[in-house]
Amino acid sequence: MYTHHKIIIIFVMLGICLFEATVFAELVLGANTSKEELINEQASFDAQIIQKKQSIAEMRIAARNALMNEKTFFNAQSIQKKQNIAEMTVVTQTKSMPINCGVGAGSTNSSKNLKGDAKTLNDIHHWFSNNQQTNTSGLIVSHPDDTSFIHHNGIQQEWAKITNNTQAFTYDQALAGIAMLNQGDIQGAKKIFDFYYSEWQKSPATFEGFWTVYNVDTNVAWKRYEWKKGTGENVWIGLFVLQYKNMLTGISQADLDESAKALNLATTIAQWIGTLPHHNGAVAMSVDKMEAGKPNFGKIYSVEHNLDYYAFLDLLRNPREVYYDNSPTTFNSKFSSL
């Protein structure tokens, strides 16, 4: 019996020892795990510190570069301003100097410059004249070397092709006509005048403005890049017509008749523009018309067009600018009908 109890006690003691050993092992293992976690946390923290230091360094470099770029920019701006001021000073001094036409010191250089300018003007006028002579309409092709094309109403057939080198824009005709007058080419300017006068005479009682563009081939006049009648181009034709009239300074019956034709046409243009929509004194760009996919120019007002219209009316109403034959009575009767 005693031996039996002793054996039991021994087993109990062994169990206690095993339990204590297990607990101790777990404590040791837990301690090691906590140590590893601390090490990992420290490493992570150190990595974050390094990343932040790197980011701060990169920000400092970026800021320094930005300051350097800004400094370079402002230095460039300063240089440009100085250059502009120098150029303006030279231009101002040049404009303030009297033009020497061959008398006194420096006459050689001055006369060379003047001859060069005259040659350039003559060359441009020669180009206009040659352009005008390539067709029988009297108009000048706006883009004579441009062989690009569009198709009438999108019809992909040869007969519907409209090439750009057949188009004469009304705005260009007006300016080219004024340039011809400036060169003393009355006959060249008359060809342009005759074309628009003839267009007006096709329906003088129901005139509704000139088209933006015409085809120089009158056999296919319908082949146009645009089908629009606007304020701007009609104003400029009016300005050209009045300048053309100013050049008719003769007293022959032919000159008087041509002058009357020019005045009638200019007056008719002004009257038509007067029928276009107006708002607060300004005239619209065209008639009030809605078309699918297109803006309604009758509700759009252009500063440029109204400045042109102002100049046109101012020239039309001033007898001293329009008349050389001292007949303001005829003029006033025309202007009062506007």
The answer to which of 140-144, 161-165, 250-254 has the lowest mean pLDDT is: 250-254
Which burial class, exposed, middle or buried, applies to 282 when counting CB atoms under 10 A from its CB (0-12, 13-18, 19+)?
Answer: middle
Percentage above 90 pLDDT, the chain: 40
pLDDT tens per residue across span 273-286? 999 999 999 999 98
The answer to which of 170-184, 192-206, 252-266, 324-338 has the lowest mean pLDDT is: 324-338
- Is the alpha carbon torsion for 5, 9, 10, 14 positive or negative? positive
The domain limits of the chain are 1-98, 115-335
Average pLDDT over residues 249-262: 87
Phi, then psi, of 213 in degrees rounded to 5? -145, 150
Point out which residues pair with 305 in neighbouring strands: none
Give, in degrees to the nearest 5, the angle at Cα 100 between 97 and 102: 165
On the question of pLDDT at 261 being above 90, the answer is: yes
What pTM was estimated for this model as a whole?
Answer: 0.61
Write out the two tokens for 154: 């999108």
Cα 112 to Cα 201: distance, rounded to the nearest angstrom:
47
Higher confidence at residue 28 or residue 275? 275
Q: CB–CB of 233/174 below 8 Å? A: yes
Cα 175 to Cα 236: distance, rounded to the nearest angstrom:
8
Average pLDDT over residues 317-330: 49
- Is the alpha carbon torsion for 176, 181, 183, 189 positive or negative? positive
Q: How far apart are the first and last CA of the chain?
A: 147
Cα 166 to Cα 135: distance, rounded to the nearest angstrom:
9
Contacts 24+ apart (CB under 8 A), 253-261: 256/325, 259/325, 260/330, 261/197
- In 3-state terms, the chain is what percent helix, strand and coil (to 5)? 70, 5, 25
pLDDT tens per residue across span 207-250? 999 999 999 998 888 888 888 899 999 999 999 999 999 888 77
On the question of pLDDT at 335 being above 80, the answer is: no
Task: Tell me the pLDDT band of 254, cut-offs 50, 70 and 90.
Answer: confident
The answer to which of 94-103, 233-242, 267-276 has the lowest mean pLDDT is: 94-103
